[in-house]
A and B are shown apart, each in its own frame.
Chain A
């Protein structure tokens, strides 16, 4: 067992983590700064958090961002799931491959291009005003491919004889859908929803193009404020978002670990039964 090798790889990992988190901790550190900027820590204060909670404009944008994210993720998940099922059932290989390629185009399109092309779309073809509606539609649009990509593998992993068995037992089509297919791909659907939510929350470029004048999301707002200089309110916001993300990650991780433990217990129980 290479003991010396061990150490170097750990050093590298630790170093990388330090670099990865340095900017974030830097932000968090200065969110408590008395002085108005990030040049010197003059004293501890909660004032920026206060300003943040009083900044109704920013709060509105944050709420907007979350609403858009939730709604678009929901819609994208529904549309994408049924799209994935349709792809799964497509018989001809050529047709299936074409649809998949079309699906993936948006995944690899640079967001600038998406933003620009959606802008053209909204002005020429789909007559919506630039604002909440356009942003929502745009977010749904770029989230659908990722939902498909998360659900499709689960469909392929699914045992097809389950469906035959359900038919044999007399299930109708909608029953098969709701009671056999959807439950077995539920992990894919959930992952898809989660990814769509993340994409939407994080998006900047596409939103930037289609947002028009009144509506704004977090990313776009921070961009305009950052161009004019530093505001520690943003630091406060970053700290809160980081804590939120940390919470989500630990929640997700504990969920995974408990899921693994549950599966291991189940296996043990099954083994015990079979050994008799």
Chain B
């Protein structure tokens, strides 16, 4: 069913695609070829790939993103699995999502207090005799806070994919003699791959570009590609270089999406 009406109503949508999807990307790419004075140049890219600084920064961005994804996964998977076994799973799910509605900044701010020199953790450490430790502005604290923030986003898709597994499959596994652990390893885990992939995508990519978090919690110790982009756009006004890094970020993102794409799985659940 076509109808001009339909197409007319969809015009704003198509306009949006052109203006806000196409154009920005094209402009970004375009901008990456200009230097700070406005001259056309390839230098930005040259700089990037020859500068030890930038390459290190890229590597560390990936490394941090990887660590955050890994830690988040380790904590989120058991949580998701146990939740599917509970009676009021929808309720627990809402309670897990609830903190994500608290503004990101507010949560980060909480950690500034928690991890500060005079904060409760340090207080407790002092009382134990270990004395106040520099918690803020370290790698560890950055990882902690990033994991805390990303946890629900890893948990949700995994929960959904585990929940979709028909309970008869898990019963069948037990019926055939497998323990709960074996059931998870041999049946639940392979069949939840799709959720795991979504979760990895949902966590890894944002982690690559965290900049607010790095500033507030990581201080100047942690510099990601995100911080560099922000720096160039808003501080040094070198939009050219910022765009270049942006392009690199986008390409990395596409790469990650490609690597974690949904292959035609045997694990895809068929409707009987």
Hey, which bits of chain A sit against chain B, CB under 8 A?
2, 5, 9-10, 12-13, 16-17, 19-24, 26-27, 30, 37-40, 78-80, 82-83, 85-86, 89, 99, 102-103, 105-106, 108-121, 124-126, 140-141, 144, 163, 173-174, 177, 198, 201-202, 204-205, 208-209, 218-219, 222-223, 226-227, 230, 234, 237-238, 241-242, 245-246, 248-249, 252-253, 256
Contacts and interface: CB of A to CB of B under 8 A. Distances in A.
A79 B209 contact: no
A113 B233 CA distance: 11
B131 interface: no
B96 A241 contact: no
A238 B212 contact: no
B1 A163 contact: yes
Point out which of A30, A163, A219 has the most chain B C-beta atoms below 10 A from its C-beta. Answer: A219
Interface in B112-155: 112-114, 116, 118-120, 123, 148, 151
B contact patch SS: helix
Nearest to B252: A110
A219 B27 contact: no
Given A80-B13, A113-B246, A174-B5, A230 B98 contact: no
A144 B15 CA distance: 12
Contact of B109 (A226, A245, A252): A226
Given A116-B28, A116-B229, 18 more contacts: A9-B78, A12-B79, A16-B79, A24-B110, A26-B120, A89-B1, A89-B2, A102-B22, A103-B17, A106-B21, A116-B233, A116-B243, A121-B24, A126-B19, A202-B101, A219-B104, A230-B113, A256-B90
Interface in B201-230: 201, 205-206, 208-209, 211-212, 215-216, 225-226, 229-230
Nearest to B109: A226
A38 B75 CA distance: 28
B12 A79 contact: yes
B66 interface: no
B103 interface: yes
B92 interface: yes
A27 B234 contact: no
B21 A110 contact: no
Contacts of A5: 180
B239 interface: yes
Contacts of B151: 20
Contact of A13 (B90, B92, B104, B113): B92
B105 A112 contact: no
Given A112-B230, A173-B5, A230-B112, A125 B253 contact: no
